[in-house]
Amino acid sequence: MVFSSITFLFYFLPIVLGIYYIVPKKWKNLSLLIASFIFYYLGEPVYVALMAFSILSTYIFGILIDKYKKTKYSKIFFIISIIVSVGLLGYFKYANFIIENVNLWLNNKIDFIYVALPIGISFYTFQMISYLADVYNGKAKVQKNILKLAMYVSLFPQLIAGPIVRYTTIENQLEDRTHTIEKFSLGVRRFIIGLSKKVLIANVLGELVNTFLSSSEMSVLYCWLYGISVMLQIYFDFSGYSDMAIGLGKMFGFEFLENFNYPYIAKSITDFWRRWHISLSSWFRDYIYIPLGGNRTSKIKWLRNIMIVWFLTGLWHGAAWNFVIWGLYFGILLIIEKLFLGKFLEKIPKVLSHFYVLLIVMISFIIFNGKSSVQILQNIGGLIGINNLPFVTSESIYYFKSYFLVIIIAMISATPLLKNIFTKEKIKKVSNVLEPIFLFSLLIICTAYIVDGSFNPFLYFRF
């Protein structure tokens, strides 16, 4: 079950909210825990037991790590817990990828494992690892109530699509959190905005992306339409789900950290990754990069640390080489910026640095969205007309006219321009009055699109 579905919007969510606010305070956590397991069961009935096992394993290892802290046994239990968590993730997500490459490189014929990827396993595995690491390092108190730990891991607003919520972020909120009309209304507002990003922008641009990938009539204009559309689709899909998760969290009294901060206004790739999928990049920084030594080591090891982190970042996004190349692509660019390009970018006009970031990111998402190396090279080469590609065709002009408006709306919405306008004092008074009408209209339009059976992919299946 996904947030942008009729089942969730008009059945599951209203029922869960109604029960949550009716039951006494002492039963709220339990009601939310049961709702989260039902939510996951409706989407992954086979693997709800796997998530329950992972929670139980994390709970036991957390207790053991804390019980034997400051002894060698604490480290042993911590290492075993990581092996268990990473092992489960590796088996379900990467086993066939490994088999495929072993067969290719060693000319073997090992049979593939017929196993489906559990939705959200990358997200909740990373949350459990961060919890265990923080307990081991003394940054978090061990949770001795298994129901509270289970709720942290399985909390349905962020279970299948993030953001990756640290235990330390909501540790106190698991015990006690505030519920106000203001917070609830802000949550509804944020959820509708996220839903609109997903349904009205990401899904619409996704149609153009899929049309391009199935077309045989290529042109330079069509390749640029594809590149721009895919980078906007991925942003609005990812950030839309994060907005919905943050909004749902507020409805239930939780405060999740922001996950996106207008990444397409970045002035460098370093700045871009401070703004894009913040919970993921900060997770890799704190639990991989810094433990490896970060930049407080020799230059060779520092460069090694960066490449390890970005290799893993790419692999986290999917079990395919295009994701690994995507991650290494950013790793190399970040090294180049840190060594010498960063100072140059600070001196040139902002418009040029912005253009540099957008071009680099657009190419990265062509790699990210590629199905094969040949397709990726053709689509990137098409941007500059390689192989005598025509500049325009009748098909590319048709799709340019058809999607021009939504692309412009997406470009404007990817910047803080509208936010800055509507927060000005003179306009704010008017917008406060009109905002409920606007949000309700957005919800109606989104519902119409969903009911109509419009294109509604779930990009997080690979995660």
Q: 71-83 pLDDT, tens per residue?
A: 999 999 999 999 9
Q: What is the pLDDT of residue 459?
A: 64
**CB atoms near residue 10 (< 10 Å):** 12
435 is in which domain, residue-wise?
A: 183-462
221 in the same domain as 154: no
40 in the same domain as 111: yes
Q: Is residue 88 part of a domain?
A: yes
Q: Is residue 293 part of a domain?
A: yes
151 in the same domain as 125: yes
Query: Which of the residues 179, 277, 317, 354 is marked catalytic?
Result: 317
Q: Is residue 12 part of a domain?
A: yes
Task: Choose one of 140, 156, 177: the last residue of a domain.
Answer: 177
Q: What is the pLDDT of residue 216?
A: 84
Task: Choose one of 177, 202, 221: the last residue of a domain.
Answer: 177
214 in the same domain as 168: no
189 in the same domain as 158: no
Q: Is residue 65 part of a domain?
A: yes
42 in the same domain as 165: yes
Q: What is the pLDDT of residue 455?
A: 63
Which parts of the chain register pLDDT below 50?
none
Q: What is the pLDDT of residue 454?
A: 62
Task: Choose one of 121, 148, 177: the last residue of a domain.
Answer: 177
Q: Is residue 307 part of a domain?
A: yes
Is 317 catalytic? The answer is yes
Domain count, the chain: 2
229 in the same domain as 158: no
Q: What is the pLDDT of residue 162?
A: 75
352 in the same domain as 302: yes
Q: Is residue 1 part of a domain?
A: no
207 in the same domain as 121: no
Q: What is the pLDDT of residue 397?
A: 94
397 in the same domain as 351: yes
